[in-house]
Amino acid sequence: MNLLLINNPGVIFAWLWIAVLLPLAYGAISVLVHRIVTGSFPALDRFGLTSELPAGFNLWQTSLAWVLTFGIGEESGWRGFLLPELSRGRSLFGSALIVAAVWMLWHLPAFGFNDNYLHMGFGVIGWAISLTYGSVVLAWICEGSRWSIIPVILWHGIFDTLTASDQAAEVMAMVCSMLVIIQGVLLMRSMGRRPNA
């Protein structure tokens, strides 16, 4: 795991930009689709906010909460430890699929208490596909940044800010997830052919 920006800082800096701009691009597209589908733009004063966090949190506090919890909390294990270990002798794509399976199992307890998971129904299929291709995209970012987890922490935190907000439930979360799936499908062929050292 390479947490610091000391191993080729130029490469890591470029991937930091990629990791920030990708979910922001998903968000911009999802806002436009929201406008087309619902006839109005999402309320900017509520953008990114969620009832899952304490009342009074603003966009920056919400984003920081997602970066610290799901970003650092999950990515230190999945892309910081498990992915590099699995990718020794396996393709990056195959390793990303194994991480996705473990990541899904990690979420199983949430199906017993979290309302979003409890009411998912057949939507669990879309959730599993999205999480799988999210693992592919994050593996690509992690490898590209020379195994630094800072870019994937930021990507995960920004993505959760966009998709876990209350106003994302109608359209935005679905569009963001679809864009991740499309990107993952485009990446998987080259990743599957490339064995890692």
Q: How does pLDDT run across 48-105, given as a tens digit for each residue?
A: 788 888 878 888 889 999 999 989 989 999 999 999 999 998 889 999 999 999 999 9
Whole-number Å distance between alpha carbons of 15 and 19:
6
Q: Give tens-digit pLDDT for 122-133.
A: 888 988 999 999
Q: How many CA atoms lie within 13 A of 144 on its CB side?
A: 17
Going by pLDDT thresholds of 50, 70 and 90, the confidence category of residue 5 is: very low
Q: Judge whether 56 lies within some domain.
A: no
Query: What pLDDT score does 197 carry?
Result: 45
- What pLDDT, on a 0 to 100 scale, did the predictor assign at position 9? 76
Beta bridge partners of 148: 2
pLDDT tier for residue 11 given thresholds of 50, 70 and 90: confident
Q: Are 99 and 109 in contact (CB under 8 A)?
A: no
d(CA 184, CA 166): 26
Tell me which residue range forms the domain holding 70.
65-197
pTM, full prediction: 0.89
C-alpha to C-alpha distance for 63 and 67, rounded to whole angstroms: 6
pLDDT > 70 in the chain, percent: 93
Question: Residue 132: phi, psi to the nearest 5?
Answer: -60, -50
154 found inside a domain: yes
Segment 20-36 shows an average pLDDT of 95
Inside any domain, residue 17: no
80 part of a folded domain? yes
* Higher pLDDT pick, 7 / 143: 143
The residue whose two tokens read 């979420």 is: 107
**For residues 53 and 56, what is the distance between their CA atoms, to the nearest angstrom?**
9
Computed over every residue of the chain, the mean pLDDT equals 87
Q: Nearest 5°: CA angle at 66, between 5 and 162?
A: 105
Most confident residue range from 108-122, 157-171, 172-186: 172-186
Q: 31: pLDDT confidence band, cut at 50, 70 and 90?
A: very high
Query: DSSP secondary structure string, 10-61?
Result: HHHHHHHHHHHHHHHHHHHHHHHHHHHHHSSPPPGGGTT--TTS-TT--HHH
Looking at the structure of the chain, the number of domains it has is: 1
Residue 10 within a domain: no
Residue 60 domain-assigned (yes or no) = no
Q: Is residue 141 part of a domain?
A: yes
Task: Report yes or no on 135 lying in a domain.
Answer: yes
